[in-house]
Chain A
């Protein structure tokens, strides 16, 4: 097993005809992902990369049975693209697009509340279940099928962590990039819930960053609900603290945004913290050996 994407994933690519969309659709197909449709409004009816292109998500779903969408739509139009996929009942939307205005995403979250769609991202590398399905922009060949789940706010730092794992012979069940934005579609807690009930996941690597309180919420959840070992690293210990949102940000989060506070909360919840970002793999290895 794995979470979110697997051999049964039938991927639709929104923005398939753009340069990014084309490049990464090809990489996904080379990896073995079933890409069944593309959507670019105005380009419906053509074949692109051997895949039928539709004007709307609705039509694409009806004709191809697509059950997940990967989005490469430019930032000014991305929220509209996500809303369209949600409206048509797409079960999973993975939004790669970086730079979407925050208030557009507020609208998306509002609409999501009564709907069944799960949103991953925006501003994320996507989701990868090694050997089964690559729905994102991550490098395919650094992954190895296995039993460690990875969930991260970062893109390239995750590639590094995954390659550390793979070089030590530790495979991954699924790697989920939840994205670097302030309002991610899915949080650490959302993904930890899935890993906790996934039979193939024996341990979870969590990679956080400074800012917000998502890591503290994860710590709270891990403390009460997660029985599998969790290994974590928080990036940004050395980031300058000068970047602040007036008093209002401090009133909401206090010191919680700091790396040290996040590590403290996670460690109190029984999470093993990697001493530095180059030892995420090694720390995981030690934890797995002690099981």
Chain B
């Protein structure tokens, strides 16, 4: 789960990590008031879940509270399109109004769980800013890494090593070590999957400051962090994906094709989409129905397809394991009873309780195209989608 920058900074501040004076505004008038209180040059930052805001015009500076109000009015209520959002962009409902700062250097600091070592990993670099990935690619020696023993925790020597790696000096080294320790504590306390301070600024007077902050959380651990759950902003997500979650389909990702897919298992769902492309078509979504034996979830998947005007055909590919084919079949029949299904349906079934599932479908009288195997299903779905589009 993602949160906004202003929420991330509130959390950082709770862990004594220095951030700029600022506050979030949801109207231009509020932005003006905040700027008046700050009483110096301010920066107005659009609060969206996507990166690349600066280049997309989502960050503006203002020399007066009037300018702050104007800048906020140019952002609030619009949609911001960045290289991470797709052409429809994401809505801007709030802006963060922050005092402007004089930055001498831009550093980089992050923590995630490293898959290879299976340990929390802190990374630091003196080359912070938007080009950090290129830095990692072309000059990897500028990225310093520290693997953290979860039983011992983050140690001062690790902080010093990273601080010297970023070419900090004097009192900055101790300050950075303290900041890193706090950041590690935040990461562990809140079950983060990522904390990233980029840039970590060294101000003109030599102080460290989190200029931007990205915090992501482990979805599997949200049950023990009600405070974090409440921060979620559904507006920032694709409406179809939010709808899917509300209907109990947690594993739905919108794609750009016209064939709706309902599959059990994430690997198989990806493979179905791959196979559709191999057969010359494009999937409209990734949908893993999961393992719960509940026909309602099948009905809800069909509601998703009906609500999606792009869909020209639907492919159901179920290989029953925990999920039982007969339950899926019941769900499909129920969906046809409840709504008008305007697209051709291709069904491929295999695994647990296959015979019963086939019987239910055959006796229901609904019209569908039966596929004999994995390939046949994808092939027939692509044909069906093309048949409609001509």
Contact = CB atoms under 8 A, between A and B. Distances in A.
A68 B253 CA distance: 37
B227 to A, nearest CB: 16
A137 B351 CA distance: 12
B352 A139 contact: yes
B92 to A, nearest CB: 19
B268 A106 contact: no
A102 B351 contact: no
Contacts of A243: 253
A180 B266 CA distance: 8
B112 A248 contact: yes
A102 B220 contact: yes
Contacts of B164: none
Contact of A139 (B121, B143, B321): B321
Interface string A202-227: 00000101101110010000000000
Interface stretch (A7-15, A81-89, A231-239): A231-239
Nearest to A209: B267
Interface stretch (A30-38, A53-61, A249-257): A249-257
A102 B115 CA distance: 10
Contacts of A75: 220
Given A238-B283, A276-B274, A247 B133 contact: yes
A46 interface: no
A238 B373 contact: no
A107 interface: yes
Interface string B185-226: 000100101101010000000000000001010101101100
Interface residues of B, number: 68
Q: In the complex, which range does the number of interface residues on chain A fall in?
A: 35 or more
B340 interface: no
B247 interface: no
B28 interface: no
B378 interface: yes
Interface of B: 51, 84, 86, 108, 110-116, 118-121, 123, 132-133, 136-137, 143, 149-151, 188, 191, 193-194, 196, 198, 214, 216, 218, 220-221, 223-224, 253, 255, 263-268, 270-278, 283, 286, 291, 319-322, 350-352, 373-375, 378
Interface of A: 20, 24, 75-76, 98-107, 109-110, 125, 137-139, 142, 152-160, 163-164, 180, 182-183, 207, 209-210, 212-214, 217, 233, 235-240, 242-254, 259, 275-279
